[in-house]
Amino acid sequence: MTQRSINADRLLGHLNALGQIGRDEAGRLVRLAASDADRAGRDAVASWMRDAGLQVVVDRVGNLFGLSHDAAEPGAAPIMLGSHIDSVIDAGIYDGCYGVLAGLEVIQTLRELGITPARPLAVAAFTNEEGVRYAPDMLGSLAYVGGLSVDDALATIGTDGSVLGAELQRIGYAGTAEPGFLRPHAYVELHIEQGPVLEREGLRLGAVENLQGISWQRVTIDGVANHAGTTPMSMRHDAGQAAARVITFLRDRVAGANAPTVATVGCLSFEPNAINVIPSRATFTVDLRDPDETRLLAEEAALARYLEELAIAEEVTISVERLARFQPVTFDAGIVALIEAAAAARGLRSRRMTSGAGHDAQMLARICPAAMIFVPSIGGISHNPREHTPDADLVAGANVLLDTVSRLCAG
């Protein structure tokens, strides 16, 4: 196989053009799912799909597909590429869009080279991956694989009180195809890493072999408010003190374990939150992630035990609410090996790695072999206008996707 390459200028042009669509008055990129900004972004992507000669199909939950039927076996299960184009508030231009536009670029390149792949090819932009406007995140791909009924998906109420189904109608992206209408032969998602590992290790590419399980909990500790000056240390039931002990316990345990587990307390509030009053209540979130379900369960159990001991030691009341729980996902080892081989063939230093964030690929993995490709994120920064990946890495990643698709068709 000669070394083909995608059209770098076209890919980067599409990325930068899409990145200008959905700017608010302050210049921030805000392309929330099923908003006017999302419609404008979808319109651009659909027009580029048509330019590439693809058939544009929208399913009932708004997932947008570009289909290339030009295949040796037109009726065979397709190779699907994709990601999402909805964004967070004040987003960067790469998250999601890169996977959609690189998928389109790969298919367009193969078509332009006159190559007839063994199977049909498809590129997908799934609805509401970010979950900023509608919960849960990854809603479109979840519905696509049958994890959420179409009726429930369309009835979802947004943070702004809107109804997803009505908003899809309003923006003209309530399609007629039944979610799941195409059952892929394989799914490959190209994405920025959104973490610092590749850059720190001086690597160009990650072959993503699994995706962390996620455990989100909210912990509420109730103690007793009292005067900060007149209450001896020994007579306190300080909810804030107890919360601080949980935070240090989590870090000391997880950081000392030589395992890929990560633990984060991102939200914390005290009541009454007065300088001279001992906190009566502390509320905080715990985000625990691990690619191994057994270890994730063990971490959850260790936290639960610690909270029980702490409640006794500090004479406080502790309650825990589960906010979210996803088991880890293992991607297809065969596709991961193809990705690694493709990187090596292009002289790109790579490693196998774990996705710390959730992605549409984890949903597609329920119905077909799936894997992901990561490219470096400078500084590990994402969900932020400073999100950045060098052009050379964007192009290299798309070329590895091109090679992976070629090998999947051949294989």
Residues found near its own copies in the complex (CB under 8 A): 193-197, 200, 212, 214, 216, 226-235, 238, 240-241, 243-245, 247-248, 251, 254-255, 260-270, 273-279, 285, 287, 289, 323, 355-358, 380-383
Q: First CA to last CA across the chain, in angstroms?
A: 13
Question: What is the smallest separation between the CB atom of 269 and its own copies, expressed in angstroms?
Answer: 7
Exposed, middle or buried: residue 41 (CB in 10 Å: 0-12, 13-18, 19+)? buried
- Using the minimum distance from each CB to its own copies, give the nearer residue, 12 or 268: 268
Cα dihedral 95/100/101/107 (nearest 10): 150
Question: What is the smallest separation between the CB atom of 98 and its own copies, expressed in angstroms?
Answer: 16
Question: What is the smallest separation between the CB atom of 113 and its own copies, expressed in angstroms?
Answer: 35
Q: At what angle do helices 333-345 and 391-410 cross, to 10 degrees?
A: 120
| Rounded CA separation 293/202 (Å) | 29
Q: The tokens 């994890």 sit on which residue? A: 147
| Cβ–Cβ under 8 Å, residues 354 and 208 | yes
| Cβ–Cβ under 8 Å, residues 380 and 392 | no
Question: What is the smallest separation between the CB atom of 279 and its own copies, expressed in angstroms?
Answer: 6
Whole-angstrom CA distances from 357 to 105, 193, 201, 402 are 25, 9, 19, 24
Question: What is the smallest separation between the CB atom of 261 and its own copies, expressed in angstroms?
Answer: 8
- Using the minimum distance from each CB to its own copies, give the nearer residue, 324 or 344: 324
Q: What DSSP string runs through 99-141? A: HHHHHHHHHHHHHHTT---SS-EEEEE-S-SS-SSSSSTTHHH
Question: What is the smallest separation between the CB atom of 57 and its own copies, expressed in angstroms?
Answer: 32
- Using the minimum distance from each CB to its own copies, give the nearer residue, 33 or 405: 33
- Using the minimum distance from each CB to its own copies, give the nearer residue, 147 or 379: 379
3-state class (DSSP) for residue 273: coil
Question: What is the smallest separation between the CB atom of 381 and its own copies, expressed in angstroms?
Answer: 8
Q: The tokens 């959850």 sit on which residue? A: 300
